[in-house]
Amino acid sequence: MKIYTTLNPETVSNIYLITDDKNKSGVIIDPGSFALNVYKLVKSTQVEIKKIIITQNTINQTAGIPLIKNIYDAEIYAFHENILDFNAIKVRNNFIIKEKDLEFKIIETPVNTFDAISILINDALFTGNVFQAGSLTAFEEKKHPTEYEFDIMKKKILSLPDHLIIYPGKGPLTTMEIEKKFNPYFKNILKN
């Protein structure tokens, strides 16, 4: 398994390509664009896109789907059954998406939006816009997170192992250990 990161040039959101090089298949997480840089990345890996996983149904995560579907016969996985008029396979907590030797476990994380999911594969956690390094995106906007949101973060995210590498929707990679130690929102959640 290899993980590649590129950017949506319009929104500076992260787009992830996870490849199974042995089987020449790939999975894209949050293709908010299928601009030339994304297309070149896929071509350079010599894999065929088999699956698309959406962490939440917003244009920043979904805009690249129509072009990808014109090129590849990729299945879409999301919280919703329909994304941009394409049928999607509905996922819920603990749903497993398999692509050859790759297994993606879905974790429902409805913090920033009700349909937000995070995706766990091996030692990697893709969080979409739930949080980014040193921050909790949705909490910054609201200023006052609810007990429900704190509970979700505590039980579903902060209970995961420290060695996980976090791949957020925006910004640089981080680790669970770093976030538990230095993210002010997480420190507050862990105190309660």
* Domain parsing of the chain, residue ranges: 2-191
pLDDT one digit per residue (tens) for the chain, 192 residues: 999 999 998 889 999 999 998 999 999 999 999 999 999 999 999 999 999 999 999 999 999 999 999 999 999 999 999 999 999 999 999 999 999 999 999 999 998 789 999 999 999 999 998 887 766 665 555 566 677 888 888 899 999 999 999 999 999 999 999 999 988 878 777 776
| Burial of residue 138, with CB atoms counted within 10 A of its CB: 0-12 exposed, 13-18 middle, 19 or more buried | buried
User: Which is it for strands 86-87 and 82-83: parallel, antiparallel or unpaired?
Assistant: antiparallel
What is the Cα Rg of the chain in Å? 16
Number of neighbours of residue 105 by Cβ within 10 angstroms: 16
Taking the C-alpha atoms of residue 126 and residue 3, their distance in angstroms, rounded to an integer, is 11
To which H or E segment does residue 97 belong? Answer: strand 96-99
Q: Fold for domain 2-191?
A: Metallo-beta-lactamase; Chain A (3.60.15)
